[in-house]
Structure 1
């Protein structure tokens, strides 16, 4: 049996927290938070809140008169979020599905999803749910990658392209959701106010391997016959040896009003 390439799949909560802590993660989150214009007294909904990465910042903005509702379908994630927000009385955590949000219609002033729609069964249905949950005049923000734009610098350019094709076709459920956010939001009844695209990039191989799953996804591509084993291993070994590693992708953020 062959040795698995790269780092093993990380704990999902740790992965999300680490990704949010990087320069690119902090920058787009700050942009979205500013454009959402969360104010004192607002009721804010964070769909797919995960380990509660953004709940404290939202709670700070709503003040003592507001409420932040974090929704996630994963109880383990909610446990992490509960620990992260201990002592914040204005944060509520609810177990629920993004396709059937556990909130009353027309009660939400601000809402957000962050790298959630690429995983759900039907992104368009989730947007309809958000439209139902929000009040007239509400603002909603979305942030999603477009994995079709993933590039990994290597001398073997064809294998880099094959890795991106595999990621898009087999690894991520809705891999190109980022480019369609504005269109889908409009169809759901939202008015698009702002669109922002950023390019998170990696110069450190180990960080890229952890975040982008270079080794583990390459191993899967090899095992499923999408990439030749010897060529794939040569490609991966070359990435880890280079002194000038580079990889990047595009992340799209959209802020809308209702």
Structure 2
């Protein structure tokens, strides 16, 4: 089942996040998120689930020397990396903390963002209530999340494509449909939602798609979970690695106001 065209080892999480951020897709949707945040000089800005601090510098630049930026992440290695990367940014601090119970007082932030984080948390609705709690009235939260049920990978056997997407949606990602759910969940948490922006990257190069989607690694897990047989997985990967390739998935950028 292994294909030499695809990555078989799971990349280090920090390496993977840096990789995504460096792609054209990553730069594009992150720039759109930053524009939608509308950060002004002096703002206090939160990066909730900041990872290794990929976006902290751009937030600090927007808030200027008169503002402050706080990154929050529950993973100690991520928080440590974020602190190291922003050590020369005096307006940036990084906290080790849980999005379900933010170590921040009520109504003290002007802007907040989450970037592909809520698909993984235990309680997205609870995390959104916490974000609402810490934002001032009139504050803004900008979120981006994929909807993995929109994942479409072309293959001559459409049943294999459906089985693969079903595995991703039902087993591989904790909150796989969070993209479509965000406007409702944000509204229920007390926000208004003035804008929802769909971003649908189309991958035509199998190797480039694999570096984002982990096609072979995910296929192997689908076999273990019983969603694909070994023979079906071989046919699936053989075509993806040799035939004309197309895959797409929709990411939603959601703007919410407190």
| TM-score, normalised relative to structure 1 | 0.96
Partner Cα separation in structure 2 for residue 160 and residue 69 of structure 1: 41
Q: More displaced, 113-122 or 31-40?
A: 31-40
| CA 1:214–1:201: 2 relative to 1, 3 Å | same
2:91 is matched with: 90
Measure the CA separation in 1 of the matches of 2:226 and 2:139.
Answer: 48
How far apart, in 2, do the equivalents of 1:61 and 1:226 lie?
46
* Secondary structure of 1:186 counterpart: helix
Residue by residue over 1:148-207, the C-alpha shift from the partner in whole angstroms, topping out at 9 and shown as x without a partner, is 000111112110110000000000000000001111111111111211001022222122
Give the corresponding residue for 2:135. Answer: 134
Q: Which runs of 5+ in 1 are unaligned?
A: none
Aligned to 1:225: 226
Normalised by the length of structure 2, the TM-score is 0.96
Change (3 A) 1:224 1:9: same
Distance in 2, Cα, partners of 1:233 & 1:27: 34
Deviation of 1:6 after TM superposition, in Å, equals 4.2
Which moves more between the two structures, 20-29 or 38-47? 20-29
Cα gap change, 1:7 to 1:61, in 2 (>3 Å): same
Please state how far the C-alpha of 1:212 moved relative to its aligned partner.
0.8
- Correspondence 1:146-161 to 2 at 5 A: 146-161=147-162
Aligned residues: 256
Q: Tell me how far apart the structure 1 counterparts of residues 7 and 43 of structure 2 sit (CA, whole Å).
A: 44
Aligned equivalents of 1:87 and 1:6: distance in 2? 35
List structure 1 runs of 4+ shifted beyond 2 angstroms: 2-7
Query: Residues 47 and 72 of structure 2 are in contact (CA less than 8 Å); yes or no, is this contact kept in structure 1?
Result: yes
What residue ranges of structure 2 are gaps of 5+ in the alignment?
none
Note the alpha carbon deviations across 1:50-88, whole angstroms, 9 max, x for none: 011110000001111111000001111112212221200
**Map of 1:40 onto structure 2:** 41
| Structure 2 contact 2–8 (Cα < 8 Å) conserved | no
